[in-house]
Amino acid sequence: MIEEGSLLQSPNLPLLSGETIKTGVDEAHRHGKLAIAHVLTYEASKQAIQAGMDGLAHVFIDKPIDNELVAQISASGAFVTPCLVLNFSIMGRSGKSLAADERVGRKLGADWHNTLRSCFNTFPEGKFEDVLGTVAALHKGGVDVLVGTDASVPIPHLGGLAHGASVHHELQLLVAAGLTPTEALRAATALPAKRFGLTDRGRIAPGMRADLMLVDGDPTTNIADSLSIRSVWKRGSMLKA
């Protein structure tokens, strides 16, 4: 956790030293584990990559695209889970349009519905277009970009996010950042499975877990069709609606 707190309106949080962070990474690797850092700022991202992190949770949002840091992340082989839906919320944008979608709204309880319609709004001066540009540059630079949301609990001041629903919103935002719909879908399936060593899932192939979702439409053409869920299978058994 490399978080000074300013972007979350909690400035001057105590930070780990670079030496401590590097020691943590080395110890994780000694045990055959991944080392992943929560970062929201340019400096934190740079420090994490220099320490040898395998992945970044979030992406820097305090500065516009920086080709030098993008190149460093690319060269390191680290993946990035930008959590664009969280950045969207931090910058004062709620998930109300998603909540208004009948395919989403009818599946949410009142608490999650209200949370999704709210937002963090702790860094309203930020430019979300810059964040999209950063993700586009990372993707173009060969960095594995994964889907994640950082959804937690249904409290309005942690708003703009809801478990499950925000995954679909994240897919839409990745497409807005320049990924193709197929690349965005891969960021939610095959790539996370690959990067987290889950060799039995993430793709539709013989011998893989039959975790499947059937939708109306074609999300490889229109990513919003991922919300038109007709049925879901887990380990080959269809779940009840």
Q: What is the pLDDT along the chain (241 residues), one digit of tens a residue?
A: 999 999 999 999 999 999 999 999 999 999 999 999 999 999 999 999 999 999 999 999 999 989 999 999 999 999 999 999 999 999 999 999 999 999 999 999 999 999 999 999 999 999 999 999 999 999 999 999 999 999 999 999 999 999 999 999 999 999 999 999 999 999 999 999 999 999 999 999 999 999 999 999 999 999 999 999 999 999 999 997 6
What are the helix and strand counts (H, E) for the chain?
11, 6
Domain 6-199 has CATH 3.40.309.10: no
All structural domains of the chain with their residue ranges:
6-199
pLDDT of residue 227: 97
Euclidean distance between CA atoms 143 and 127, whole angstroms? 22
pLDDT of residue 241: 65
Q: What string of DSSP letters covers 139-162? A: HHTTPPB--------S-GGG-S--
Is the Cβ–Cβ distance between 89 and 121 less than 8 Å?
A: yes
pLDDT of residue 240: 78
Euclidean distance between CA atoms 30 and 195, whole angstroms? 18
pLDDT tens digits, one per residue of 92-118: 999 999 999 999 999 999 999 999 999
